[in-house]
Amino acid sequence: MSQLEIKDLHISIGDKPIVKGFTLTIKQGEVHAIMGPNGTGKSTLAKAIAGHPDYTITGGDVLLDGKSVLAMEPDERARAGLFLAFQYPSEIPGVSIANFLRAAVQARMAEGEELDASGYYKRLYAKMDLLKIDRKFTSRSVNEGFSGGEKKRCEILQMAMLEPKVALMDETDSGLDIDALRIVAEGVNAQRSGPSAPGILLITHYQRLLDYIVPDFVHVMYAGRIVKSGDKSLALELEAKGYDWVKKEFAAATA
């Protein structure tokens, strides 16, 4: 059983502390939704765990299957089983989706092992069909000129191809129309079944997504840490009442 343990994590950007004591364990197959106001550190958390060089870990630890990932390079973390679906995926002109994904798949193979090209394309097309991505996209440059929804679907396609142990999904629902949301949710749910289902950290602002990808836990993040946890009904409560009551509770508790 895979799991990701985030232990009392502190993250700074420059001198500025952003994440201040974040603790959470995500077990294989579980979906943890993280909600919270803008600027509270959700993307910072996800990118720092993936190893983005802009962020400094000033305290705590992140363990994947009991092993700290903090000393690893981003690519090592990814090969160890971490996946980040970006809030704002980069555009990479001149690098086709097919070449990019092939490089990512190949990076996971043993030295000297040959990629079975026809098998690779078969798998790729199957996943694309599931996510209703036109096969012509394989020859397009990564994310270049993609609509917001296409970018997000492309993130899920990568997740499907790379089969991570833990996926950190940062606002994968933003920019999606209702049909695209359903397709993306189906794509994620398809990966949730089966023995190699990843643990998922689902960052979102909208309860709507959680109707489609039903979470096991919902956490509220505020001022760099989790301030409240519950089940999916917490998301409904937030949707109805906003964050003010959480902030007040937090202020009262820390006063």
Ligand X SMILES: Nc1ncnc2c1ncn2[C@@H]1O[C@H](COP(=O)(O)OP(=O)(O)OP(=O)(O)O)[C@@H](O)[C@H]1O
Binding site for Mg ion (CB under 5 A): 42-43, 87
> Six-digit token pair at 193?
């079944």
Closer to ligand X by CB, 20 or 123: give it: 20
Closer to ligand X by CB, 87 or 172: give it: 87
Closer to ligand X by CB, 39 or 242: give it: 39
Dihedral (CA of 44, 233, 214, 185) sign: negative
| Beta strands across the sheet bearing 67-68 | 16-27, 3-13, 55-64, 67-68
Burial 208-220 (b: 16+ CB within 10 A, else e): ebbebbebebbbb
> Six-digit token pair at 14?
């420059």
Query: Taking the complex as a whole, how short is the minimal distance between the CB of residue 32 and ligand X, in angstroms?
Result: 15
Closer to ligand X by CB, 85 or 124: give it: 85
In the list other proteins, ligand X, Mg ion, none, the entry touching 40 (Cβ below 5 to 8 angstroms by class) is ligand X
Residues near other proteins (CB under 8 A) are: 50-53, 73-75, 77-79, 83-84, 86, 89-95, 99-101, 103-104, 107-108, 141-142, 158, 162
- No. of helices (H) and no. of strands (E), the chain: 9, 12
Query: Taking the complex as a whole, how short is the minimal distance between the CB of residue 84 and Mg ion, in angstroms?
Result: 12
Residues near ligand X (CB under 6 A) are: 13, 18, 36, 38-44, 54, 87
Pairing of strands 217-222, 31-35: parallel
Query: Taking the complex as a whole, how short is the minimal distance between the CB of residue 166 and ligand X, in angstroms?
Result: 18
The dihedral formed by the CA atoms of 199, 147, 118 and 113, expressed in degrees to the nearest 10: -50
